Amino acid sequence: MAATASTQKFLGVLPQEAVPGALLVFVAALAMIVVNSPWGAAYQAALATSFTIGPTGGGIEMKLAYWIKNALMALFFFFVGLELKREMLEGQLSNPKAAMLPVLAAAGGMAVPALVYLALAGDAGFGRGWAIPAATDIAFALGVLSLLGNRVPPALKAFLLAVAVVDDLGAILIVAFFYTEQVFTNYLVMAAAVTAALVVMNRLKIASIGLYLMVGIVLWVVMYKSGISPTIGGVIVAACVPLKDKQGHSPLHEAEHSFRPWVLFGVMPVFAFANAGISLEGAGAYLTHPITLGAALGLAMGKPLGIAAMTVLGAMLLKAKKPGNLLQIVGVGCIAGVGFTMSLFVGALAFTDEALATPVRLGVYAGSIFSALLGLAILAYALPKSASTPAPDADDQTRPFILPEPKYEAYEKAKP
């Protein structure tokens, strides 16, 4: 029997699902080394270098750091949008009754961290960063959970996936509605027209991903000029990619499969390298900064508290079965506190002042690392000591983060 995703090891050490997260840790550490080395000045100068893409006189000029944040991350949001759409159409979120519990858990896992952050940083004048601890890094969180192997019940793993996907949807909406300072109506109308063209392409079941991306570039340009974060354009394009074409093939699945390695092993590490570096010179002064404390405690305390409380309350109100016992849910809530990529992205949108980049990054690092370690410790204690029997090989490459499709018991029971 072939090995399942839970038992397959990278270089004989790490579970396959943990590789993207391990790569991000390595890249973040590399960024720290570079920033604090003789190459630090060259690193900062490269990120501050401006260049123009587009026709002379009509192109878009940005610093390299902003190209990475606005253009490269649009591909990340495109991938997240594909995952979100598939989960809503045929995954854990496709049945409204079954989806209610992870939706409520995700809502608590976003609201409570935001309140914790505001309590610590709001009065100090840094309330704009309230959404920093509200985000979950799907790849990183599921990678951490995979370190426990087959001891993790499929229902618990699927629950974390559903919560993280809803969490990402919330982060997308937050970026669109709360981190847009000025909107230019003429370009917004153009963006609506381009979106309408994408919807028509979807209705005609056009299967060419290349064509969607070409139209998506136009959408990215007009959204950038409209004042709205152009990364949202990636989500809009993903939402218009059809699940099935006229021949019965799935452009959505094919796009996920094609973009998976580019995003997990290209886009995310590049973003981490450009945004994870912290100069250790004077960094100690930021350890008690309101942003640092708000982001760290929001992720480490707010996430598990919000997710666990709303899961228990939701299960009572909906009369639904919980995906695990209370301690296991708290452990999963801790792992959902791994914000990293999404938290750094929101932090970069919230605070453009370079002086505030250090407390944002320190808070995200501290909160994410503590959340991962505490979640692993709790689950290692709370889960059965012996691994469950591995399922037959279900190496579905359309899964972006978990190769076999886990079964969420509440979803199975809610099927008509």
Which residue is it, tokens 């359309």?
398
Taking 70 as the threshold, does the pLDDT of residue 368 lie above it?
yes
In single-letter form, the type of residue at position 98 comes to A
* Structural domain includes residue 381: yes
Q: How confident is the model at residue 12 (pLDDT cuts 50, 70, 90)?
A: low
- Contact, 172 vs 232, CB < 8 A? yes
Q: What percent of the chain has pLDDT over 70?
A: 88
Q: What percent of the chain has pLDDT over 90?
A: 45
Q: Give the number of other CB atoms < 10 A from CB of residue 317.
A: 12
What is the average per-residue pLDDT within 153-167?
86
What is the tens place of the pLDDT at every residue in 244-268?
988 888 999 899 888 988 988 999 8
What is the average per-residue pLDDT within 19-34?
87
* Structural domain includes residue 1: no
* Structural domain includes residue 57: no
Task: Tell me which residue range forms the domain holding 316.
Answer: 15-34+62-387+398-414
What is this structure's pTM? 0.81
Taking 70 as the threshold, does the pLDDT of residue 81 lie above it?
yes
| Residue 121 to residue 290: CA distance in whole angstroms | 5
Confidence (pLDDT) at 410: 44
* Structural domain includes residue 9: no
Q: Alpha-carbon dihedral of residues 250, 97, 156, 381, nearest 10 degrees?
A: 170
Confidence (pLDDT) at 106: 93
What is the average per-residue pLDDT within 135-148?
83
| Residue 368 to residue 336: CA distance in whole angstroms | 9
* Structural domain includes residue 108: yes
Of residues 387 and 352, more confidently modeled? 352
What is the tens place of the pLDDT at every residue in 198-254?
999 999 999 999 999 999 999 999 999 998 889 899 999 999 999 998 888 899 989
* Structural domain includes residue 56: no
What is the tens place of the pLDDT at every residue in 278-334?
887 777 788 899 999 999 999 999 999 999 999 999 999 988 888 889 999 999 999
Report the half-sphere exposure of 29 (CA within 13 A, side-chain side): 7
* Structural domain includes residue 98: yes
Confidence (pLDDT) at 397: 34
Domain tally for the chain? 1
* Structural domain includes residue 368: yes
Provide the CATH number for the domain around residue 205: 1.20.1530.10
